[in-house]
A and B are shown apart, each in its own frame.
Chain A
Amino acid sequence: MTILGPLLIAGIIILPTYLAMQGHDERIIALYEENTFFSSKLEDTDNLHFVKIPFEEVNIIKEDFSASSYYALLDIKDAENFALYSNQQVSLSVQSEIEGKLSDILQREELKLAGIDLQILEGVTTQIEVKTIIIGEEGETTGNAEVSFGIGFMCGILIYMFIFMYGTMVMRGVIEEKTSRIVEVIISSVKPFQLMMGKILGVALVGLTQFMLWIILTIIISSFAEVLFFDMSAIAAENSEMGQEQSVIVSELLKSLAGINIAQLLISFVFYFLGGYLLYSALFAAVGSAVDAEADTQQFILPITIPLILSFILMQPVMNNPDGVLAYWLSLIPFTSPIIMMVRLPFGVSNAELILSMALLVVGFLATTSLAAKIYRTGILMYGKKASYKELWKWLTFKG
Chain B
Amino acid sequence: MQKNIFIAKDIVKQYGDYTALNQVNLEIPKGSIFGLLGPNGAGKTTLMRIINQIIAPDSGTLIFDSKPLKRADIAQIGYLPEERGLYKKMKVGEQTLYLAKLKGMPHNEALEKLKFWFKKLDILHWWNKKVEELSKGMAQKIQFVATVIHQPKLLIFDEPFSGFDPINAAIIRDEILELKKGGTTIIFSTHRMESVEEICDNIALINNGETILEGAIKKIKNNFRNNIFSVKLNTENLTLPEQFQIISNTDNNYQIQISENATSNQLLNALIEKGEILSFQEKIPTMEDIFIKAVKDE
Q: Which residues of A are in contact with B by a Cβ distance under 8 Å?
A: 176-177, 180-191, 381, 394, 398-400
Contacts and interface: CB of A to CB of B under 8 A. Distances in A.
A280 to B, nearest CB: 25
Interface in B56-92: 56, 58, 71, 74, 77-81, 83-88
Interface string B17-61: 000000000000000000000000000000001001111101000
A357 B212 CA distance: 60
Nearest to B131: A180
Contacts of A185: 79-81, 85-86, 99, 143, 146-147
B141 interface: no
B85 A381 contact: no
Contacts of A181: 81, 83-85
B103 interface: yes
11 contacts: A181-B84, A182-B86, A184-B79, A185-B85, A186-B102, A188-B77, A188-B81, A189-B99, A189-B102, A394-B16, A399-B56
Contact of B86 (A180, A394, A398): A180
Nearest to A182: B85
B54 A187 contact: yes
A186 B77 CA distance: 13
B52 A188 contact: yes
A184 B85 contact: yes
- A184, A190, A394, A398, most chain B CB atoms within 10 A: A184
The 6 closest A-B pairs by CB, nearest first: A181-B85, A182-B85, A188-B79, A189-B102, A184-B81, A181-B83
Given A181-B81, A381-B54, A399-B56, 16 more contacts: A180-B86, A180-B87, A182-B87, A184-B54, A184-B83, A185-B79, A185-B80, A185-B85, A185-B143, A188-B78, A188-B79, A188-B81, A189-B74, A191-B71, A399-B58, A400-B56
B177 to A, nearest CB: 23
A375 to B, nearest CB: 15
- A176, A180, A182, A189, most chain B CB atoms within 10 A: A189
B77 A180 contact: no
A180 B81 contact: no
B26 to A, nearest CB: 18
A189 B83 contact: no
Contacts of B88: 176, 180
B17 to A, nearest CB: 11
Contact of B103 (A182, A184, A189): A189
B102 A190 contact: yes
B74 A183 contact: no
A19 B134 CA distance: 50
Contacts of A381: 49, 54-55
A188 B85 contact: no
A399 B86 CA distance: 28
Contacts of B71: 191
Nearest to A184: B81
Contacts of B147: 185
Contacts of A398: 15
A355 B169 CA distance: 63
Nearest to B90: A182
Contacts of B87: 176-177, 180, 182
Nearest to A190: B102
